[in-house]
């Protein structure tokens, strides 16, 4: 099996980044300061981490609509634990455990009950975000120990800690997992042809469960950073993250049917989305416009790719 091919959407992504860059430079000329770029990166890290996990799930041909709910559930569990006197590193571990457990529930339900992932995670999205609201009675949790702030507010030199010490190492690690390990290849094989994968003796169920666990754990990690950055854990956080993370993954070149895509593409798409978001909020435009524009970019990206594909096919047919 060759390296993962994400070239399909690369030109589209490049064009969109270019348009965004020009648009942002004209619309918000003050944006290119280091401080602004770091602020942009900080906002991008959380959704970026969620999207990395979503990439693995989508590459097996699945989908996870519950990552935003896990993001919220994990952060309020951590928050409640810390308020209850649990030392913060332990509380963070607990939150990550919750995320992994949620992912396990998604994976087991998908594989054992043989229910399509979209239904399972639709149901668990209701359940997880309901649980987050139930255990907090819908009230934000705050009053964390000081040490916890390091995750979302710490810096190394002048660079935000979560960019250099969490996101980038994670990206490298996952890229290596995807390109250099047996598991990485199995993920794409499962997505390419589930039946063939099963017939060649691959335990595709285990692969699918593992991807949901990764997605759950990473969503919880993003939740920890979010709660630390805002010094508040919100039970209703991440409601739009389910959809935006899928949009980012697809924009990054992953096929929604599985078998095609890479975490590097996802990271590039995260950058583009972050640029769009920050450019808009820099001009004081409402967050609803940001997600509206992301939706538009998503549709246009897939449309453009389809058009290029059909031109290619026509050329191939002509020769």
Can you give the binding site for another protein, defined by CB under 8 A? 63, 109, 113-116, 118-120, 122-131, 133-134, 137-138, 194-195, 240, 243, 246-247, 250, 256-257, 286, 288-289, 291-296, 298-299, 302-303, 306
Task: Identify the residue whose tokens are 């994976």.
Answer: 107
Contact 215, 103 (CB under 8 A): yes
Least distance from another protein to the Cβ atom of residue 31, Å: 21
Nearer to another protein, 39 or 123 (CB): 123
CB closer to another protein out of 18 and 118: 118
Helices (H), the chain: 10-27, 34-59, 67-83, 88-112, 117-136, 150-153, 161, 168-180, 182-192, 194-199, 204-230, 241-251, 263-282, 287-318
Query: With respect to another protein, which residue has the nearer C-beta, 194 or 228?
Result: 194
Q: How far is the CB of 168 from another protein (least distance, A)?
A: 28
- Shortest distance, position 114 Cβ to another protein, whole Å: 5
- 156 forms beta bridges with 159
Minimal distance, residue 274 CB to another protein, in Å: 16
Q: Are strands 155-156 and 141-142 parallel, antiparallel or unpaired?
A: unpaired
- The CA distance from 123 to 85, in Å, is 32
- Compare residues 170 and 251 and give the one whose CB is closer to another protein: 251
Helix axis angle, 67-83 to 117-136, nearest 10°: 20
Nearer to another protein, 146 or 195 (CB): 195
Considering the complex, what minimum distance in angstroms separates the CB of residue 79 from another protein? 16
């Amino acid at each position: 099996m060759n390296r993962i091919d994400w070239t399909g959407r690369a030109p589209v992504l490049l064009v969109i980044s270019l348009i965004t860059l020009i648009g942002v430079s004209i619309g918000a000329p003050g944006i290119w300061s280091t401080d602004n770029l770091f602020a942009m990166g900080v906002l991008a890290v959380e959704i970026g981490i969620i999207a990395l996990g979503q990439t693995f799930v989508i590459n097996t041909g699945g989908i996870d609509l519950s990552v935003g709910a896990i993001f919220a559930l994990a952060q309020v569990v951590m928050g409640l634990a810390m308020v209850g006197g649990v030392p913060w590193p332990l509380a963070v571990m607990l939150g990550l455990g919750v995320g992994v457990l949620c992912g396990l529930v998604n994976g087991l339900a998908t594989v054992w009950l043989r229910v399509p992932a979209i239904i399972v995670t639709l149901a668990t999205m209701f359940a997880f975000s309901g649980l987050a609201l139930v255990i907090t009675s819908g009230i934000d949790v705050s009053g964390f120990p000081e040490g916890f702030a390091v995750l979302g507010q710490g810096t190394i030199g002048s660079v935000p800690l979560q960019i250099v010490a969490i996101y980038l190492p994670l990206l490298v690690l996952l890229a290596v997992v995807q390109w250099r390990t047996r598991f990485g290849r199995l993920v794409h094989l499962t997505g390419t042809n589930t039946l063939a994968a099963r017939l060649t003796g691959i335990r595709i169920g285990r692969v699918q469960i593992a991807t949901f666990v990764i997605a759950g754990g990473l969503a919880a990690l993003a939740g920890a950073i979010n709660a630390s950055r805002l010094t508040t854990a919100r039970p209703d956080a991440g409601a739009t993250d389910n959809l935006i993370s899928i949009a980012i993954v697809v924009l990054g070149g992953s096929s929604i049917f599985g078998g095609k895509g890479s975490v590097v593409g996802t990271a590039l798409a995260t950058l583009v989305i972050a640029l769009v978001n920050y450019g808009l909020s820099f001009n004081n435009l409402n967050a609803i416009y940001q997600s509206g524009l992301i939706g538009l970019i998503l549709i246009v990206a897939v449309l453009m790719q389809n058009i290029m594909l059909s031109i290619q096919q026509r050329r191939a047919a002509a020769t």
